[in-house]
Amino acid sequence: MRLLLALAGLLAGLLLADVACGPPPSPNCVGSECICRDTTDCGFTCDEPGCAGTCESLSSCDGACGDACDLICRDTSTCDLACGESCAVTCERISTCEVDCAGDCDVLCRDASDCRVTMVSGLARCERASTCDVQCATPDGPTPATDCGGDRYACGVPCP
């Protein structure tokens, strides 16, 4: 009986330790800051609120963060970025930038060949982008964002 209780206690302790520690950190992150720079391909995942992620001088970068994060991708061929609520995303001097964002997003694509944004709500701006495709994520599937003029687009919020 003591052995059973000891094993049950050990198992409970291991489970609690696993829950407390969570998943292992992304290899390109330290705390809530993730940096991919000067390499071929790179990626990161940061689930902490307020995470800051940077992709710079790469062939390709895949970055994901949770809520209230800042993502920047510059001087990179291809970036695929995803974030939760209340995020700011900037893609500049880039060939292709794909952004998937939940609500209350602020996206800027500058000096891009191809910028594709899908978001639940928020604003997107395209400055000197050859192609700018902004879609609103709805329960029925993506729909084109409201064109606010001046290469600005809105989903679920009024045009500024």
Which H, E and C letters describe the chain, residue by residue? CHHHHHHHHHHHHHHHHHHHHCCCCCCCEECCEEEEECCCEEEEEECCCCCEEEEEEEEEEEEEECCCCEEEEEEEEEEEEEECCCCEEEEEEEEEEEEEECCCEEEEEEEEEEEEEEECCEEEEEEEEEEEEEEECCCCCCEECEEEECCEEEECCCCC
pLDDT in the model for residue 48:
83
pLDDT at residue 2 greater than cutoff 50:
no
Report, as an integer, the average pLDDT of 134-143. 96
| Residue 37 vs residue 27, higher pLDDT | 37
**Token code pair at residue 114:** 């191809």
Neighbours of 90 (CB within 10 A): 20
pLDDT in the model for residue 28:
87
pLDDT in the model for residue 24:
55
In this predicted model, what pLDDT tens digit does every residue of 77-135 receive, in sequence order? 999 999 999 999 999 999 999 999 999 999 999 999 999 999 999 999 999 999 999 99
- Global pTM? 0.82
pLDDT in the model for residue 26:
72
Q: How confident is the model at residue 143 (pLDDT cuts 50, 70, 90)?
A: very high
pLDDT in the model for residue 27:
78
Q: Where are the domains of the chain?
A: 26-155
In this predicted model, what pLDDT tens digit does every residue of 38-68 receive, in sequence order? 888 999 999 888 999 999 999 999 999 999 9
